[in-house]
Structure 1
Amino acid sequence: MTLNRKETPSVTRDAAIRITMMPRDTNAHGTVFGGIILSYIDVAGGVEAVRHTKHERFVTVAMKEVIFHEPVFIGDLVSFYAKTVNVGSTSITIHVDVEAERFGNQGQKVKVTSAEVTFVAINQSREKVKIGR
């Protein structure tokens, strides 16, 4: 399969979240604001942390190596794919790939962002706790 550098292969996988970008999500340049993408990366990572460990409370402690590969536009259907990279005694690291299906060009999927997020497990008192597995 030959792909354009900007396209990603169609792989059957489960998105942690999927959302259509709207005009309210844009910056002054007319593309989706990077902070919007970062907030959804955080949510997707949290979904994966809970799915992987069954622990219910996590807080974000770090976002590492965030790379914005391509812009996201109004109307793009954006999918956030999360995968557990490492589980420690109190923390979990998640890699998130973000892919946009271009509006008006269904089927054209472009890798737009990737990031690594680290979460720490907490209890109801917001104290760090060990992750139960």
Structure 2
Amino acid sequence: MNFHTRKWIKPEDLNPNGTLFGGRLLEWIDEEAALYAIIQLENPRTVTKFMSEINFKSSATKGDIIEIGLEATAFGNSSLTLSCEVRNKMTHEVIITIDKIIMVSLGEDGKPKPHGKTEIEFVKDRLAK
């Protein structure tokens, strides 16, 4: 799992219980998954199709730093499947796991578009070509 993004929990990220609001965390995860998929599939028209069961295991509070990890688990014809884990850097606890996030590459017509990818590519390798 690659952890690329960190977030600092601020007062506006909290729920009435004083812990990280789950909706805010899901927003961050969805954005991170989209960015990851757009870069991998080289298509800015990539959207979220599906998120499997979301398992909240712990939380975070104001001042905590969390990091979002993603891992590609499968390539479809027009899709990329990811798994996700978010962990609290302060408490070393896993906050949430999502087994399956499916991102789909779209054409200009808004319909799924084959991407031709079969494995993870790194930008440094693309630049070397």
TM-score band, normalised by shorter chain: 0.7 to 0.9
State whether structure 2 residue 112 is matched by structure 1 residue 128. Answer: yes
CA apart distance, 1:87: 0.8
Match of 2:102, as an amino acid?
Answer: T
After superposition, the Cα gap between the structure-2 partners of 1:47 and 1:16, relative to the gap in structure 1 and judged at 3 Å, is farther
* TM-score calculated relative to the size of structure 1: 0.79
CA–CA separation in structure 1 for the residues paired with 2:8 and 2:21: 14
**Residue 122 of structure 2 aligns with which residue?**
none
CA contact (8 A) 2:65 2:89 kept: yes
Q: Greater helix share, 1 or 2?
A: 2
Structure 1: runs of 5+ lacking an equivalent = 1-12, 103-107
**Residue 114 of structure 1 aligns with which residue?**
97
Note the alpha carbon deviations across 1:62-106, whole angstroms, 9 max, x for none. Answer: 11021101011111111101000111001111101101112xxxx
Q: Counterpart of 2:85 in 1: which secondary structure?
A: strand
With 123-132 and 85-94 compared, the bigger mean Cα shift is at 123-132
Match of 2:96, as an amino acid?
Answer: T
CA–CA separation in structure 2 for the residues paired with 1:25 and 1:124: 35
State whether structure 2 residue 17 is matched by structure 1 residue 29. Answer: yes
CA apart distance, 1:47: 2.4
CA apart distance, 1:23: 0.4
With 41-50 and 111-120 compared, the bigger mean Cα shift is at 41-50
Q: Counterpart of 1:15 in 2: which secondary structure?
A: strand
Q: Counterpart of 1:44 in 2: which secondary structure?
A: helix
CA apart distance, 1:14: 4.3
* TM-score calculated relative to the size of structure 2: 0.81
Q: Number of matched residues?
A: 116
CA–CA separation in structure 2 for the residues paired with 1:51 and 1:111: 26
CA contact (8 A) 1:89 1:131 kept: yes
CA–CA separation in structure 2 for the residues paired with 1:78 and 1:124: 35
**Residue 46 of structure 2 aligns with which residue?**
58
With 50-59 and 17-26 compared, the bigger mean Cα shift is at 50-59
CA–CA separation in structure 2 for the residues paired with 1:76 and 1:125: 42
